[in-house]
A and B are shown apart, each in its own frame.
Chain A
Amino acid sequence: MNALELAAVSYTYPGAPAPALRELTLELAQGEFVVLAGGSAAGKSTLLGVACGLVPHFHGGRFDGRAEICGMNLRDHGPAALAAEVGTLFQDPETQVVMGTVRAELAFPLENRGHSAVAVARGVEEVALALGIETLLERSIVELSGGELQRVALGAALAGRPRLLVLDEPTSQLDPVAGDELLSLLRRLNEEWGTTILLAEHRLERCLGAADRVIALDRGAIVCDAAPSGFLQWAHAAAPALETPGATLIAGLGLRPPPVGVKQARATLRAAGLLPEREAPPEARRPPRWHRRERSRDASLRLRHVWHELSDGPAILAGVSLSVAAGERVVLLGRNGAGKSTLLRHVAGLAEPTRGRIERCGRVALLLQNPGDYFLHDRVGDELDALALERSGLGALADRHPRDCSGGERQRLALAIVTAGEPAPSVLCLDEPTRGMDRGAKATLAQELVGFSQRGVAVLVATHDPEFAASFATRAVLLADGRVLADSSPEELLSGGWYFATETARILGGHRGILTPTQALAQLGATATATASRR
């Protein structure tokens, strides 16, 4: 019996003009680890919805074809019945937790199935031990961090030991450390428990190493179904936006096979004699004193020893001093809870420092994590005047409801809203702007940020995404426990670490501060040509 069998499945959401899935035929064997790839609105979430029964039972709409999940026909079994065999984890951990304490949350799915009290207690203990959350069992849900909450939600999905686990971008709200931990957990569940994993993820470079198979979707249809290496070959030719940075680098150097992870990429480069020798880590360089004075004098934004201390709790910001010059593009990095969002809220004046001072030269525009929070009207055209809408390239969407736009479009609309009006902002802050965005939308956003900085706007972005940071930043600041740990160039910061490093930097071991495949090809291409001619 397969974990999932689809035969000519088509599905259209209620009121939608076009189907979200088209004639999908697919089989997932037990124990497979399958990654779903594709741009926004490709149909990944809808396919996951079919796998857990929410489509069509919860969402309604028109469903054609035959779907069997762990031997149960989807027409006869809804999500509640399928929950015995299918565990589900969505993007937002906040909306996946329904009880007040961790123990109650893990017990909930087992109690729903009418298990005996002993079986519930045992199931809770086992899943807590398996996920390493046994110390959280008595904790209240409101005390948990985002990473802990996502683990608890995963625990609730796994409590009944499902045969199929369905995950929709589970790492999109986690920092790289928590995201990597979650992915290793999935790998362990797949290898040790034999759980079939169906995972939709935009940051493919993080999960291809664990996958047995990659299914790429485009406009609701399967366009590629292959092993990770085969998928990367296909992506290089047909969908470069889905190619991982490592694969772009190896293909650009004319090497094969496309690497599914850092280890394989390094092996390929080593075999070709192109892997740079490991260098001693460069000494951290402070900018010369005159340069710092210069930067401080021209600053659009200046924070002097800013503290934010909670009345009954810790200091979220602990003496942060930072100057950002006009036209500078600064990325703020750090794990969840490092103080990035709090810093941006202080910069925008949404919070006042308990000690210290913030000086702003002009208006500060802040785009918070959820672009949907900025929308007030039923039409995109009502959110902005026509000129601003055209200038931001959203003129064609004027009659659409803001909530019906894709993730990238919503982000652009919200950005246009906060930057519209007079006076124009002198500082632009964005908090985690790439959540749930595909690579194309991220590239567009990076270009927009460069455009703002060219108009003299100081740009300050908090993100967990090192690839996105490398694509636009001219300066990188690493925060931890409310303090600035490092303040340097992106080349220095993003090439020297493991978690806060791009895939290219990890492959090349931080060689010469190379962060992107383009930079790598420019520097290694000459070596490759020389090596090839010697051979």
Chain B
Amino acid sequence: MSYLRRASPLHAARAGVGAAYCAALVLAALVIADPLVLGVLALAVIVAGVAAGVGGRVARSLYLSAPMAVLIVAVNALVSREGLTVIARLGDAGPLGQLDITLEAVAYGAKEALVLVVIIAACALASAAVDPDELLRSLRRVSFRSALTATLATRMVPLLALDARRLGEAQRCRPNPGGRLAVMRAITANALDRSLDIAATLEVRGYGSARRPRRAPRPWSRHDLAFAASAVAIAALAIALPAPFTFYPSIHGGYGAGVWVLAGTLTLAVLAPFAQRRGILR
């Protein structure tokens, strides 16, 4: 997962605001209990990914999270002893006792899986649409060296992965390729060489005498304001207007107008900032 530069309102917003927006999506997923609202939120996050030009990345994250979602549903159905509506009796499972699958346990597992899907999709959106350099630079005022170390790590990981692939290819070109241990040693030696070169570069760029950077004033763009307002609205809606929903001992939840209004308002809050497309090219 890495940052993709795109012309989109989310990319045009400052990194801190973009990160807050994605964090609000995660918070909403954790707080909201109603599966209908959660499902609508999941759809909204996917649409937000498409609107940000990183729909493929978000879709891939959903694909990767699917097996985990299935696992959550299955495990919860098997281990949960709560719920009144038995839909399958699996009989005596030895030390585990009588295994009954209840509708409530399956529904609760599905809701938890949905939470996971929304969280993973929001994280994928953040990783593809929030500039990590800008985010880390804003953190440098808090802890300069830690933020730089994190920046270097994010830069070095793909570089070292490329090195490892290159070394692997070179070994395939040898008539007698070395053993796995020898190749690992070569990769380690290469990584150390790289580190030395990077350290030398940091030295000649003046890192040794680095001072805490000064605050960089930057006017708030319409996208900064829109996504900041959206983040606040999403968090507020999720916390202040909880849709009452219980799974155990039996499923109780309203599908009245209130829930639909909450789902609609939440969708609007998630997607409204994407409507403004002026000045999105950076």
Binding site for B on A (CB under 8 A): 52-54, 57-58, 78-81, 83-84, 86-88, 90, 92, 94-101, 104, 108-109, 111-117, 120-121, 138-143, 156-157, 160, 345, 348, 350, 363, 365-368, 370, 372-377, 403, 417-418, 420-422
Contact between B131 and A78, CB atoms less than 8 A apart: no
Closest 3 CB pairs of A and B: A80-B208, A421-B175, A117-B216
Question: For window 189-213 of chain B, which residues contact chain A by CB distance below 8 Å?
Answer: 189-190, 193-194, 197-213
Contact between A112 and B206, CB atoms less than 8 A apart: yes
Measured CA separation A363–B176 after assembly (Å): 13
**Residue of B137, B172, B183 touching A350 (CB-CB under 8 A):** B172
Measured CA separation A77–B86 after assembly (Å): 78
Let me know if B278 is at the binding interface, CB within 8 A: no
The secondary-structure label for the interface of chain A is mixed
The secondary-structure label for the interface of chain B is helix
Measured CA separation A86–B155 after assembly (Å): 25
Contact between B213 and A111, CB atoms less than 8 A apart: yes
A79, chain B: closest CB distance, angstroms: 4
Measured CA separation A108–B199 after assembly (Å): 14
Residues of A within 8 A of B175 (CB): 363, 365, 417-418, 420-422
Contact between B173 and A54, CB atoms less than 8 A apart: no
Interface-lining segment among B21-29, B72-80, B162-170, B252-260:
B162-170
Let me know if B174 is at the binding interface, CB within 8 A: yes
**Residue of B152, B159, B166, B200 touching A373 (CB-CB under 8 A):** B166
Knowing A121-B216, A350-B169, A376-B186 are in contact, say whether A80-B206 is a contact too (CB < 8 A): yes
Question: For window 133-174 of chain B, which residues contact chain A by CB distance below 8 Å?
Answer: 133-134, 137, 140, 151-152, 154-155, 158-159, 166-167, 169-174
**Residue of B2, B134, B205 touching A112 (CB-CB under 8 A):** B205
Residues of B within 8 A of A79 (CB): 203-204, 208
Measured CA separation A52–B197 after assembly (Å): 14
Contact between B151 and A99, CB atoms less than 8 A apart: yes
Contact between B203 and A58, CB atoms less than 8 A apart: yes
A-contact bits for B210-231, CB 8 A (1 contact / 0 none) = 1111111100000000000000
Contact between B154 and A88, CB atoms less than 8 A apart: no
Contact between A138 and B211, CB atoms less than 8 A apart: no
Q: What are 26 A-B contacts defined by CB distance under 8 Å?
A: A52-B204, A78-B208, A79-B208, A80-B203, A80-B206, A80-B208, A87-B204, A90-B197, A96-B197, A98-B201, A100-B132, A100-B154, A101-B131, A104-B133, A117-B214, A117-B216, A117-B217, A138-B282, A142-B2, A157-B204, A350-B169, A366-B173, A368-B166, A373-B166, A376-B185, A422-B175
Interface size class of B (residues with CB under 8 A): 35 or more
Contact between A99 and B155, CB atoms less than 8 A apart: yes
Residues of A within 8 A of B178 (CB): 376
A406, chain B: closest CB distance, angstroms: 16
Measured CA separation A58–B197 after assembly (Å): 11
**Residue of A95, A403, A418 touching B174 (CB-CB under 8 A):** A418
Contact between A112 and B209, CB atoms less than 8 A apart: yes
Residues of A within 8 A of B200 (CB): 54, 58, 90
Contact between A98 and B202, CB atoms less than 8 A apart: yes
Q: Which of B140, B185, B189, B209 has the most CB of A within 10 A?
A: B209
Measured CA separation A92–B193 after assembly (Å): 12
Residues of B within 8 A of A98 (CB): 151-152, 155, 198, 201-202, 205
Contact between B133 and A99, CB atoms less than 8 A apart: yes
Let me know if B5 is at the binding interface, CB within 8 A: yes
Contact between A141 and B155, CB atoms less than 8 A apart: yes
Knowing A372-B190, A373-B166, A376-B182 are in contact, say whether A114-B211 is a contact too (CB < 8 A): yes
A21, chain B: closest CB distance, angstroms: 18
B203 to chain A: closest residue by CB: A79
